[in-house]
Amino acid sequence: MSLFSFLFPQRQGTAAIARDRLKIVLAHERASRDAPDFLPGLQKELIEVVGRYVEIRDDTIRVNVGKSGETSTLEINIELDGAKLKVGTGKPVIVASANPGAAAAGRPAKPVKSG
Amino acid sequence: MATLVRWPTTASRTARQSRREVWLGKVIVITSGKGGVGKTTTSAAFAAGLALRGHKTVVIDFDVGLRNLDLVMGCERRVVFDFINVINGDANLNQALIKDKRNDNLYIFPTSQTRDKDALKREAVERVIEELKNQFDYIVCDSPAGIEHGAITALYFADTAIIVTNPEVSSVRDSDRIIGILASKSRRAERNEDPVAVHLLLTRYAPDRVTKGEMLTVEDVKEILSIPLLGVIPESESVLRASNTGTPVVFDEDSPAGRAYLDAVARFLGEQREMRFVKPERRSFFRTLFGRA
C-alpha cells in the first residue's frame, strides 16, 4: 500500500463490483441450468469410455451445451494433463502424459478378439 | 388416515361457506437457498401480518431437526405434538396446531426435532397441506436453507414463493438458484400449471451503506433476479429484539422492519404502497442522543 493510498483511501464502493460479478456468474449458471437432462448420463458414460483407455478423474471432464445465435453446440472438454494411459487395453491409446516410460514398459498390446 | 378437523370459523370464512363458495387456502413458501438471511423472521412476520389483516393463517416449520419457528413465534413451551407426529398418525392436526395468544387468526405448526431429515414424505405432507387448505386462507411454509429434501418439500406445494434475499453476492446467487428450482421442481411445474408466483423480499437492507456504494441497491438486485419486488426490510435492531422475546416483528409498532413487513403484506394483498426505508434515515439530534432504531 502506497503512502498516497494510505493517506487518501479510495472512497469508491465495492457494490458495483459485486453487481458485475453477479451478472457474469449468473449468466453462466442460467445457461447450464436450462441444459438438457441427458448431460449427467452422457458425462458418466464418457468417463466410462475414456476411462477404458486413459486414467481420468471424474472432475476432469466437462460437458456443456451452449447456444450462440442459431447454433446449439455440445462442448466436451476432457483434461488429460498428467493422465496415465492404461496398458494392455489392446487398442490405440491416447498418450497423454509426458511419461514415455509408462507406454514403453507396457507389454505389446494384444489384439482384442472381437466377437 | 387424514381426519377432517373442524375449526372455529372466522366471520369471513363462515360468510363464504354460507355463500357456498369454494375457497382453498393459498400456499406461500418463504425460501432463499442461503441460510441466515431471515426466512424464519420473515415467515413469522408475514404470517402474523396476514393474520392482522383478518386472514386465517397457519405458519409451518419445514426445518426438520432444527426447529426454530416456535422460538421466534414465542410458543416453544406449548409444543406437544409436531409435524412428524401428525404424519405418522400419532396425533391429529388440531392437536399439533398451536393457536397464537396475540391473534385469533394465527396458528403455528411446529416441526419435529428428530434427526431423520427425510422424515417428511411428500405424499404425507401433501395430505396435511390439502387438509390445511380447507381450513385456512393462507398456509405459510418456512423453508430450511439449502436445496436438499427439506427445502424441496417446502416449496413443492407452493402457489406463491417469497424469495428472501440479502443485498450480498452469495445470497443473490442462491436466490437465483432457488428461483430456477421453483420453475422446474415445484408441483405446478410438474403438472404444467400456472407457474409459482415469485416475489422478491430484500431484507437486512442498509440504505446508508447503499448510498456510500458499499451495498447492492434494490434496483441492482431486482434487475439481476428479474422478479417483482414485494418489499424492502431495513436492517433494524428491532428484529433481534423481536426474536429475543418471541414476538413477530410486526407486533412492534415502533419498528421500521415491522412496518416494512406490514407494507409487504399489504402489497401481497393487492394494495399499492410506496417503498419506505430505502433511503438513509435522517436521525434527529434527539434520536441520536436517546437512539432507538
Closest to B208 (Cα-Cα) out of B285, B278, B263, B260: B278
Q: Do A26 and B180 touch (CB under 8 A)?
A: no
Question: Which one of B172, B178, B221 would you mutate to disrupt binding with A, by most A Cβ within 10 Å of its Cβ?
Answer: B172
Residues of B in contact with A30 (CB under 8 A): 176, 180
> For residue B195, which phi and psi values (nearest 5 degrees)?
-65, 160
Q: How far out from the chain centre does Cα B248 lie?
A: 11
CB B7 within 8 A of CB B93: no
Residues of A in contact with B175 (CB under 8 A): none
Q: What is the pLDDT of residue A46?
A: 87
Q: Give the tens place of pLDDT for each residue, A1-17.
A: 566 666 665 556 899 99
Q: C-alpha cell of B93? A: 392436526
Q: C-alpha cell of B197? A: 408466483
Q: Give the tens place of pLDDT for each residue, B275-290.
A: 999 988 776 666 666 6
In whole angstroms, how large is the CA radius of gyration of chain A? 23
Q: Give the tens place of pLDDT for each residue, B11-55.
A: 455 555 555 566 799 999 999 999 999 999 999 999 999 999 999
Q: Do A21 and B217 touch (CB under 8 A)?
A: no
Q: Cell 451445451 identifies what position? A: A65
Residues written for chain A: 115
Torsion angle defined by CA atoms of residues B99, B101, B104 and B109, in that order, rounded to the nearest 10 degrees? -30
List the single residue in A13, A22, A23 with the smallest CB-CB distance to B213: A13
| Distance (Å) from the alpha carbon of A36 to chain B's nearest alpha carbon | 12
Q: What is the pLDDT of residue A98?
A: 45
Residues of A in contact with B217 (CB under 8 A): 15
Q: Do B213 and A29 touch (CB under 8 A)?
A: no
Going A44 to B192 to B31 to B69, the CA torsion angle's sign is: negative
> For residue A75, which phi and psi values (nearest 5 degrees)?
-110, 120
Nearest residue of chain A to residue B211 (CA atoms)? A13
Average pLDDT in chain B? 90
Query: Of B13-27, B83-97, B138-152, B205-219, where does mean pLDDT reach its minimum?
Result: B13-27
Residue-by-residue DSSP string for chain A: --HHHHHS-----SHHHHHHHHHHHHHHHHHHHT--TTHHHHHHHHHHHHHTTB---GGGEEEEEEEETTEEEEEEEE--TTPPBPTT--S-----SS-HHHHHHSPPPPPP---
Q: Give the tens place of pLDDT for each residue, B56-96.
A: 999 999 998 899 999 999 999 999 999 989 988 899 999 99
Nearest residue of chain A to residue B175 (CA atoms)? A26
Q: Give the tens place of pLDDT for each residue, A38-71.
A: 887 888 888 888 888 888 877 778 787 776 777 7
Residue-by-residue DSSP string for B161-204: EEEEE-SSHHHHHHHHHHHHHHHHHSHHHHTT-SPPEEEEEEEE
User: Looking at the predicted structure, is the pLDDT value of residue A84 above 90?
Assistant: no
| Distance (Å) from the alpha carbon of A24 to chain B's nearest alpha carbon | 10
Residues of B in contact with A21 (CB under 8 A): 169
Average pLDDT in chain A? 70
Chain A with chain B: Cβ pairs closer than 8 A: 41
List the single residue in B173, B212, B217 with the smallest CB-CB distance to A26: B173
Q: Do A26 and B213 touch (CB under 8 A)?
A: no
Nearest residue of chain B to residue A14 (CA atoms)? B214
Question: Which one of B171, B190, B214, B222 would you mutate to disrupt binding with A, by most A Cβ within 10 Å of its Cβ?
Answer: B214
Q: How far out from the chain centre does Cα B218 lie?
A: 20
Indicate the pLDDT class of residue A109, thresholds 50, 70 and 90. very low
- Give the global pTM: 0.75
Q: What is the pLDDT of residue A50?
A: 87
Residues of A in contact with B180 (CB under 8 A): 30, 33
What is the C-alpha separation between B97 and B69, in angstroms, rounded? 13
Q: Do B173 and A33 touch (CB under 8 A)?
A: no
Convert B95-125 into a string of H (helix), E (strand) and C (coil): HHCEECCCCCCEEEECCCCCCCHHHCCHHHH
Q: What is the pLDDT of residue A104?
A: 42
| Distance (Å) from the alpha carbon of B172 to chain A's nearest alpha carbon | 8
